[in-house]
Structure 1
């Protein structure tokens, strides 16, 4: 199945970005699951999603268990939390070591590439709690010396609200319409999910936000979360907080997973052990909502040249971390 793209259009008047247009061509996989035997869901989901595969798999398994009123074992929750955490650590390291420096025109350093490759190999070799604990100390010590790339983005941007951290049970009554997966809102408004939403209470991040440095705050939040996750590897029971599920009604289950990109929700309705309805609410649909974080922070953004507009848009998009490729187009306003 094609993964689709985000088409991001900036209307530029020579001085600033006047408005944006956001169109997603990502196929709605959840609709294709309708009518299938429920056993097929756990087979299809991990094969289709190349990014956040463990998170997507965990969400599918947990929402099915909840719909069937099957109580998940504590060990299962810990294993799922550990897999989700390792996946998130790799994602965060990729961003800080590999994705951001070239965008900020930093020289390509072989040591940085080697560091990412070495940590990725060690992380993906973790198979249980004992192996995670053995790795945790080394990772925590290394992260203590890691710094985020500096990004000067002091702008008086209009920002959407940050998505609160809710449990699956708290989410259950909020997914109340057919198009929620495509255009999710909280309290009737677009909202931002991700590391900034999860860690906005940190004093250092609060300072950056008050200073108008929203992109820099997201970068700092990645490092903050990396250190939290590394500490969690030493005690995987803490990582179970990353995953939970609830029975919404008879034959209906909802799962919540905290991924590197933000909150992921899966909701399933069963009929005779077949999928009657399935919804996947991914972080990209929050952050690239037509009135979401990308739109609010780009609209009105100063840009003296098309290159200025393009670079700013690329940095903002990377900080919001879409799970599909994007195409950027600048048109005259």
Structure 2
């Protein structure tokens, strides 16, 4: 079984000579294809398949799917199992956040060698968590020392953020939307906002929004490490629920925001399987990108550059293209 193509995002931007008059994101994602593939299968087999189908956030997909399946069956995992799950997802979230800092934003102290070291440590830790808790504890210490040795001093980090944001100072974006929380009423609505961009809730200055995203990315590394070191604990309430319409949901927190799997069983077979990833929400036709960019007053050339920068900040888990059009 090979991984399904992650998909592609195409953003059509329309400019009337004064402002962005329309934003049309077209997101090609395999979620429906996956749902069709899993329907009628043994649910445990379906969970195993998910880890092979998704190359990005595969751990989070497995964990969210497992939680949804347990909710559908009326089972509750014990605290020890959930702690291991949260740790595995935190490792993946830490790694993905660091890769974004390196590849998209050129965090000053991270180079290719540092990225390779991060990948090695995360892989070693993930394996040790399942087999050797003592070794896992040692790797957590090594990972923490590695990150603290690389992390920029506040002044250097402020300069790095300012270099990315200064161009957009004074540009007013559209408002933010409602922020997603697992288990909230209407959590299945695809337009709810999640991920680092949600940290800029209520802020409309473009420079400030991007600055908040960059700061949140760094904080995600700190927070994931704190969880692995046992200094903090992730709340478990609401991460697995069964709704009145027969759809059981499971959640996992990725570097891009909350991932949801929804499962409906028919006896011992999958009747329905729904996946809502952060990319599906934030790049929905009523999602964060559209809300932020619609009717922004900006010149044509800068509009295209801002759209690329904001798309990177919100972060699709797929390749993207921005196409400029005259209104």
> Does TM-score exceed 0.5, indicating one fold?
yes
Q: Is residue 157 from structure 1 mapped to residue 173 from structure 2 by the alignment? A: yes
In the TM superposition, residue 303 of structure 1 has moved relative to its aligned partner by: 4.0
Deviations 1:279-312 (A, max 9, x none): 1111112111112211122222344343x23321
Please say if residues 77 and 243 of structure 1, whose CA atoms lie closer than 8 Å, have aligned partners that are also in contact: no
Q: Does the C-alpha gap of structure 1 residues 132 and 61 become closer, same or farther in structure 2, counting only changes over 3 Å?
A: farther
Q: Is residue 112 from structure 1 mapped to residue 119 from structure 2 by the alignment? A: no
In the TM superposition, residue 14 of structure 1 has moved relative to its aligned partner by: 3.3
Q: Is residue 45 from structure 1 mapped to residue 44 from structure 2 by the alignment? A: no
In the TM superposition, residue 72 of structure 1 has moved relative to its aligned partner by: 0.7
Q: How many residues align?
A: 304
Describe the SS at the equivalent of 2:243.
Answer: strand
Q: Is residue 81 from structure 1 mapped to residue 82 from structure 2 by the alignment? A: no
In the TM superposition, residue 138 of structure 1 has moved relative to its aligned partner by: 0.8
* Superposition map of 1:148-297 within 5 A: 149-150=161-162, 151-152=165-166, 153-154=168-169, 155-166=171-182, 170-171=183-184, 174=186, 180=188, 184-185=189-190, 190-197=191-198, 200=199, 209=203, 213-235=208-230, 238-239=233-234, 241=236, 244-248=239-243, 252-297=247-292
Distance (whole Å) between structure 1 residues aligned to residue 81 and residue 232 of structure 2: 11
In the TM superposition, residue 42 of structure 1 has moved relative to its aligned partner by: 1.2
Q: Does the C-alpha gap of structure 1 residues 324 and 144 become closer, same or farther in structure 2, counting only changes over 3 Å?
A: closer
232-241 or 212-221, larger mean C-alpha shift: 232-241
Please say if residues 63 and 268 of structure 1, whose CA atoms lie closer than 8 Å, have aligned partners that are also in contact: yes
Q: Is residue 17 from structure 1 mapped to residue 17 from structure 2 by the alignment? A: no
Describe the SS at the equivalent of 1:192.
Answer: coil
In the TM superposition, residue 3 of structure 1 has moved relative to its aligned partner by: 2.8
Please say if residues 67 and 249 of structure 1, whose CA atoms lie closer than 8 Å, have aligned partners that are also in contact: no
* Superposition map of 1:21-100 within 5 A: 21-27=24-30, 28=32, 29-100=34-105
In the TM superposition, residue 119 of structure 1 has moved relative to its aligned partner by: 1.8
In the TM superposition, residue 21 of structure 1 has moved relative to its aligned partner by: 0.8
Give 2:120's aligned residue: 121
Distance (whole Å) between structure 1 residues aligned to residue 139 and residue 236 of structure 2: 17
Give 2:132's aligned residue: none
CA RMSD of aligned residues (A): 2.8
Which ranges of structure 2 fall in alignment gaps of 5 or more residues? 130-135
124-133 or 113-122, larger mean C-alpha shift: 124-133
Distance (whole Å) between structure 1 residues aligned to residue 215 and residue 229 of structure 2: 22
Which ranges of structure 1 fall in alignment gaps of 5 or more residues? none
Please say if residues 66 and 254 of structure 1, whose CA atoms lie closer than 8 Å, have aligned partners that are also in contact: yes
* Superposition map of 1:286-325 within 5 A: 286-306=281-301, 308-325=302-319
Describe the SS at the equivalent of 1:290.
Answer: coil
Q: Does the C-alpha gap of structure 1 residues 62 and 112 become closer, same or farther in structure 2, counting only changes over 3 Å?
A: same
Please say if residues 102 and 110 of structure 2, whose CA atoms lie closer than 8 Å, have aligned partners that are also in contact: no
Please say if residues 84 and 242 of structure 1, whose CA atoms lie closer than 8 Å, have aligned partners that are also in contact: no
